[in-house]
Amino acid sequence: MGTEMTEDEFDILAAKVLAGEATADEATRLQEALAQDAELRAEFAELRATWAALKDVGPLAQALNTPPAEPPPERLRKWHAAVARKRKHEEVDFAQVGAPVRKKLRVSQLCLAAAFLATAIIAGVFLSHRSSGTATSAPIAYLVARKDTVEVRRDGKATAVKSVTTLCVADEIRLSPQASATLITPNGARPLQGPQEFVNVQVLSSAAAATNGTETKSRAAGTALFQPSRQLLGLLVTMRSGQSIPVYSPVGFTANLTPMILWKSEPGKSYDLSIMDEFSTAAPLRRAGVVSPVEFTNAWPGRTLAKDGLYRLRIAENGKPLTTTELTFRTLPQPGETLPADPADKLVAAYEILTANPSRLGDALGALVSLPPEFADSDLALRLKLFAFGQLGYQEDFESAAARLEARR
């Protein structure tokens, strides 16, 4: 053991971190100790492996909490006979079963009893934590990799991450010297920069809480990202007419004065669109016979929308005015930066947008629907889409994203 941390303190902090009950200061304290002491790192790795195995013995831990009961005489006789056959040369005194451990026990027996007791205690902590509302099927964090080598170690195996992955409580992250990534937790997003040796996700998550100081800004977005998938159906807050054309961008608020116009277009069809300034008598911006998406700067070169404006967007199938979909959107007083081109940065930007206040659904969907498949089909992207589609009431898109997410289970 190292000189900076006592054995008792290490045991307590390790148990708290693995159970997800550590404070930010405690998690940082443990991480500092692990960085300084190779022996502690090895011991923590063994504890983490034991913790992962506890998922398979949850029912046993629950059984340990049941009140003791006298076994039926017939079963007791069978146990006695089985033990007698197994250990012919040992005399078993069943009157002593369950009695306190005597000092005459061998050291190996003490170690076995202590290990079993420790397992039961840790399993009890795990079950208690789970019963307080943390379901095992709920993600704990997401890792969005940008460049170079980012590895995730799970159950003793290291896997290279090139796009985005969902993390479990016992996972560890390693970044090579030039690697960078973003860790998204219920406490917010935290940038990671190499080099970093394998670091426990729970420790990083607690550190993110200390850095951000607050929970995810949008409670609904937090529900979408960190709750069991079966609870996500409640994100569909309203349902729009099935006859309308789903418009993805711009809707609600936008920080982009030259937003991409994005809607669900059907193959072989073209569309007419117009954007009208509700605060001006100027002629609307119009385009006919176009398909989604329409880049604003290409459609209307040199033009921009006004800051803090209110606009009406109309889209209809070309030559079919009865198919018109109409909605209003606002531009923010302070425009934001344009969406990044890199898919990892674009996915993180979509997360930041949806957890901002106000959440810019259209700007986020513009990013999400333009991601390449390796990012678009990730749990993180699908859950963000569920939140956005649910808020907009696009039932068909919502159910499609939900089906794809379920198919990944």
Average pLDDT on 173-181 reads 91
Region 382-405 average pLDDT: 91
Mean predicted confidence (pLDDT) in 353-364: 86
Residue 296 main-chain phi, psi, to 5 deg:
-55, -45
Question: At CA 157, angle to CA 156 and CA 163, rounded to 5?
Answer: 135
- Lowest-pLDDT range, 163-177, 272-286, 297-311? 163-177
Lowest mean pLDDT: which of 61-75, 298-312, 336-350? 61-75
Which of 50-59, 231-240, 313-322 bottoms out in mean pLDDT, i.e. has the lowest?
Answer: 50-59
d(CA 151, CA 177): 12
Confidence of residue 232 (pLDDT cuts 50, 70, 90): confident
**Which of these ranges, 13-27, 250-264, 352-366, has the smallest mean pLDDT?**
13-27
pLDDT(118) > 70: no
> What is the distance between the alpha carbons of residues 74 and 331, in angstroms, rounded to a whole number?
79
High-pLDDT (> 90) share of the chain, %? 39
Tell me which residue of 340, 318, 316 sits closest to 326, measured CA to CA: 316
Closest CA to 176 of 145, 144, 204, 207: 145
- pLDDT tier at 77, thresholds 50, 70, 90: low
Only one residue has tokens 């831990």, namely 61
Q: What percent of the chain clears pLDDT 70, i.e. is strictly above it?
A: 70
Radius of gyration of the chain (CA): 28
Mind listing the pLDDT tens digit for each residue in 123-160?
444 444 333 333 345 788 999 998 777 999 998 899 99
User: What distance, in Å, lies between the first and last C-alpha atoms of the chain?
Assistant: 41
More confidently predicted of 157 and 114: 157
Which pLDDT does position 256 carry in this prediction?
93
Examine the pLDDT at 81 and tell me if it is beyond 70.
Answer: no
Please write down the HEC assignment for all residues of the chain: CCCCCCHHHHHHHHHHHHHCCCCHHHHHHHHHHHHHCHHHHHHHHHHHHHHHHHHHHHHHHHHHCCCCCCCCHHHHHHHHHHHHHHCCCCCCCHHHCCCCCCCCCCHHHHHHHHHHHHHHHHHHHHHHHHHCCCCCCCCCEEEEEEECCEEEEECCEEEEECCEEEECCCCEEEECCCCEEEEEECCEEEEEECCEEEEEHHHHHHHHHHHHCCCCCCHHHHHHHHCCHHHHHHHCCCCCCCCCCCEEECCEEECCCCCCEEECCCCCCCEEEEEEECCCCCCCEEEEEECCCECHHHHCCCCCCCCCCEEEEEEEECCEEEEEEEEEEEECCCCCCCCCCCHHHHHHHHHHHHCCCCCCHHHHHHHHCCCCHHHHCCHHHHHHHHHHHHHHCCHHHHHHHHHHHHHCC
Q: How confident is the model at residue 199 (pLDDT cuts 50, 70, 90)?
A: confident
Checking if the pLDDT of 409 tops 90, the result is no
Read off the amino acid at residue 222: G
Contacts of 302 (CB under 8 A, 6+ apart): none
Which range of 26-35, 47-56, 128-137, 154-163 scores highest in mean pLDDT? It is 154-163
pLDDT of residue 166: 94
For residue 244, the tally of other CB atoms under 10 A from its CB is 16
| Pairing of the two strands 150-154 and 271-277 | unpaired
Evaluate if residue 25 carries a pLDDT over 80: no
Residue 139 near residue 33 (C-beta atoms within 8 A): no
Q: In whole angstroms, give the CA distance from residue 45 to residue 41.
A: 6
The 10s digit of each residue's pLDDT in 318-350 is 999 889 999 999 999 988 877 888 999 999 999
Model confidence band, residue 71 (pLDDT cutoffs 50, 70, 90)? low
